Amino acid sequence: MIKRIYLVGNPNVGKSVVFSRLTGVEVIASNYPGTTVEFSRGYLKLKDDRVEVVDLPGVYSLEPNSKAEEIALRILNELPKEEFIVINIVDATNLERNLFLTLELIEEGFKVIICLNMCDDAKHRGIVIDVKKLESILGVPVIPTCAVTGAGIKFLIESILKAKQIFLNKLTHQQRWQKIGEIIESVQQLSHRHHTLREILEDASVRPLSGLLISGGVIYLSFKWVRFLGEGLINKVFDPFFFNLYKPLLEKFSFLLEKKGFLHHILIGELIKGEIDFKQSLGILTTAPYIELAMVLPYVLAFYLVLGILEDIGFLPRLAILLDNLLHRIGLHGYAIIPTLLGLGCNVPGILSSRILESKRERFIASTLISIGIPCVALQAMIFGLLGKFSGFYVSGVYLILFSLWLILGIILNATLKGFSPELLIEIPPYRFPPLLVIFKKLYIRIKGFLIEALPIVFLGVIVVNILLYFGLFDFLSSIFSPVVEGLFGLPKEAAIPLVIGFLRKDVAVGMLVPLNLTAKQLFISAVLLAISFPCIATFIVLWKELGLKDLFKATLIMIIVGLSVGTLLNFSIP
C-alpha cells in the first residue's frame, strides 16, 4: 500500500515544476538552486487512491551537509520503506552529477522511479541519452520528461507504481563516482558542435569584466523596465479606469447618500472641494482601492514580471558571484543577494528565503538588514507616486539613505556578532529560456498572493484612520506622540497616526500622509522612517517564526534605535 510519493532530486532540476504538474498545486519555480526552502504537499489521484505527494528541497546527496539535506533525510525516514515511492528527478543536461544521488537512493533500498527531466534542453545541447540502457543498468524505470511543457508527465504518472526496490551493496564515495563514470560512458553521447551563443554568454557572465558589464546592463534595464511598465500601467490603464469609469459611479452613490452621514464618511469619506479625491477622501470605496490597485498594483505587476524573467533565465546566481566580496563585508556571502532581491518585492518571501544561507548568524543579519534597508515594492510604488512630483533628488535620496544604512549596519553587525561568514559554494545554473506561459503563470500566482494578503489589511488601515477621524480621536492620539514626531522628526503631529499605521502596511501608511499636505522634506523623512523603523505586521510575524523571540527583540531594538536616530539626523541636517 503506497501512502506517499516523495520528489527527490538535486537543487534546480525542476522538482517544483514536476510537483505542480502532478498535483495541480501552484508553487513558485525558478532557475536557481534553493527556490523551495519549505516542502510543499499536494495530492495525486492514482487509480482509485489519493496519494500524498511531497516536494522536498533540493539535495546533492543523502548525507546531511546542509539544512535542506537534514530536512529531506528526516522526512524520508518518517515512513517504512514499503509505504512510499521516491520519484528521483534527474536533470538530463547534467546526468553525471545527478546520478550520485540516484545511486544513493537506490542503494538505500527505496522504491525508486527516475524522471529524466529537461530532455528537450539536453537535445538542444547535443546530449543524447540511451534511456533503455540507463534503465537496464540502474534496474529501475526511467521516464524522460519535459515538465515545463508537460511532455512525458502522463507516462510518468502511469509508471509510478512500477517503481522498483532493488538491493545493492553500499558503495564508497570513490566507487560510486567510478560507477557513474562507467554509466555515463555507456549511455550518454555528446555530439560535437560549435559553442552556441548561449554557452558563450554563460561563460562571459561568470568572468569578472564581462560579468560586471552584463550584470550592470541587466540591472539598469530591469529598473528602467519596472519604472516604465509601472508608470505606463498607471497612466494608460488604472488611472483612466478609476477616473473615467469608477469616479462617476461613486459620485452618483455619494449623491444618493446625500453627501453626509456616518455611512457616507465610512464608504466615500470626506469630499475635498465638493468632490471625491481618491488620494485624500479616506473612504473604503475611494482611497483604499485607489492606493492598492491604482498606485501599488501596477508596480507590483511590473516588478514581479521582471524578477520572474531574471529568475527563470538563471541570472541571479551570477549576480551572487559578483557581489560575493561586498556581501562578505557585512557577514554574508554572495548568495544572500537572492533573499535581498526577493525582499525588494516583499520582505516576507525575502526573509523566508534567507534559509538558503547556512548559519543562524547569516540568517539573522540577512533578515534584519532586509527589514530595515530593503523597501518592499508596495512602499517603493508609493514613494514614486508621492515624492516623484518633487525633484528626482528626493526619490534617489531615499534609496541612497537606505543603501548606506544597509551597508553600515551590516558592517557593524558583522563586527559585533560572534562567528564568521561562511564561504560561498553554489552551482551556477545554465541559462534557460522558459516559455512565456510559464512566466505569466508565476506572475499570476504572485499577484493573486499579493491581492489576498494586501487588500484586507489596506481596508482595515483605511477604516481605522477613517473612524479615528470621525470621532475626533485623531488629534487626541497624535498629541501623545507629538514630542517625538514634532520635536525630533520635524513632522506635524498628525503624522504620528500614519507612522503607526505603517505597522499594518507601509503603502497605506504613505497614503495616509497625503491629506496632511507635507512639504517635500517632511514627506521624504516620513518615507525613510516608514521604510526603516518597524516592519509591517506580516514581516514581523515571519521574523518571529524564522528568528525566534530573542532575536526578534534584538532586531526590533536595532530598528527602533536606527529609526529614531536617522529621523532626527535627517530633520536637523536637511535645510
Partner 1 sequence: MLNTMTTNRLSLVKLKQNQKAKVLEILGGVGIKQRLLSLGIYPGREITKISHFALRGPITVKVGRTTLALGYGMAEKIIVEII
Choosing from 324, 362, 486, 494, the residue that interacts with partner 1 (CB under 8 A) is: 324
DSSP character string of 209-220: HHHHHHHHHHHH
Choosing from 94, 353, 368, 380, the residue that interacts with partner 1 (CB under 8 A) is: 94
Give the separation between CA 458 and CA 442, rounded to whole angstroms.
Answer: 24
In the complex with partner 1, the residue whose CB is nearer, 67 or 247, is: 67
| Cβ at position 388, least distance to partner 1 in Å | 37
Q: Does residue 70 contact residue 64 with C-beta atoms inside 8 Å?
A: yes
Instruction: Mention every residue, 6+ apart, whose C-beta is less than 8 A from residue 538.
Output: 346, 347, 348, 453, 457
Q: Which amino acid is at 48?
A: D
Span near partner 1 by CB under 8 A; candidates 223-231, 418-426, 471-479, 546-554: 418-426
Give how many residues touch partner 1 by CB under 8 A.
36
In the complex with partner 1, the residue whose CB is nearer, 310 or 566, is: 310
Give the separation between CA 344 and CA 399, rounded to whole angstroms.
Answer: 12
Residues of span 328-347 touching partner 1 by CB under 8 A:
333-334
Q: Does 362 bind partner 1 (CB under 8 A)?
A: no
| Cβ at position 501, least distance to partner 1 in Å | 43
In the complex with partner 1, the residue whose CB is nearer, 333 or 506, is: 333
Residue 161 exposure: Cα atoms within 13 Å on the Cβ side: 11
Q: Does 425 bind partner 1 (CB under 8 A)?
A: yes
Q: Does 73 bind partner 1 (CB under 8 A)?
A: no
Q: Does 426 bind partner 1 (CB under 8 A)?
A: yes
Collapsed DSSP state (helix, strand, coil) of residue 51: strand
Tell me the CA distances in angstroms from 540 to 353, 363, 502, 535, 558, one per residue in order: 15, 15, 12, 6, 14
Q: Does 196 bind partner 1 (CB under 8 A)?
A: no
Q: Does 96 bind partner 1 (CB under 8 A)?
A: yes
116 burial via Cβ count (<10 Å: 0-12, 13-18, 19+): buried
Long-range contact pairs involving 40-49 (C-beta distance under 8 Å, separation at least 24): 40/16, 44/5, 44/157, 46/2, 46/157, 46/160, 46/161, 47/161, 49/2
Dihedral angle of Cα 370, 400, 217, 386, to the nearest 10 degrees? 90
Q: Does 424 bind partner 1 (CB under 8 A)?
A: yes
| Cβ at position 373, least distance to partner 1 in Å | 23
In the complex with partner 1, the residue whose CB is nearer, 99 or 529, is: 99
Q: Does 170 bind partner 1 (CB under 8 A)?
A: no
Choosing from 203, 404, 456, 483, the residue that interacts with partner 1 (CB under 8 A) is: 203
Instruction: Mention every residue, 6+ apart, whose C-beta is less than 8 A from residue 115.
Output: 18, 87, 88, 89, 90, 143, 145, 147, 156
The site map against partner 1 for 482-521 (x = CB under 8 A) is ----------------------------------------
Task: Please state, as a whole number, how many other Cβ atoms lie within 10 Å of the Cβ of residue 383.
Answer: 24
Choosing from 320, 370, 497, 501, the residue that interacts with partner 1 (CB under 8 A) is: 320
Choosing from 196, 235, 325, 519, the residue that interacts with partner 1 (CB under 8 A) is: 325
Instruction: Mention every residue, 6+ apart, whose C-beta is less than 8 A from residue 473.
Output: 467
| Cβ at position 482, least distance to partner 1 in Å | 50
Residues of span 289-318 touching partner 1 by CB under 8 A:
317
| Cβ at position 118, least distance to partner 1 in Å | 12
Q: Does 208 bind partner 1 (CB under 8 A)?
A: yes
Q: Does residue 284 contact residue 295 with C-beta atoms inside 8 Å?
A: no
Q: Does residue 555 contact residue 367 with C-beta atoms inside 8 Å?
A: yes
In the complex with partner 1, the residue whose CB is nearer, 210 or 482, is: 210
Choosing from 322, 372, 458, 512, the residue that interacts with partner 1 (CB under 8 A) is: 322
| Cβ at position 484, least distance to partner 1 in Å | 43
**Beta strands 4-9 and 84-91, pairing class:** parallel
Span near partner 1 by CB under 8 A; candidates 205-213, 281-289, 470-478, 548-556: 205-213
Span near partner 1 by CB under 8 A; candidates 47-55, 213-221, 427-435, 494-502: 427-435
The residues of the shown chain that bind partner 1, judged by CB under 8 A, are 60-61, 63, 65-66, 93-94, 96-97, 100-101, 173-174, 177, 202-203, 206-208, 211, 317, 320-322, 324-325, 333-334, 422-428, 430
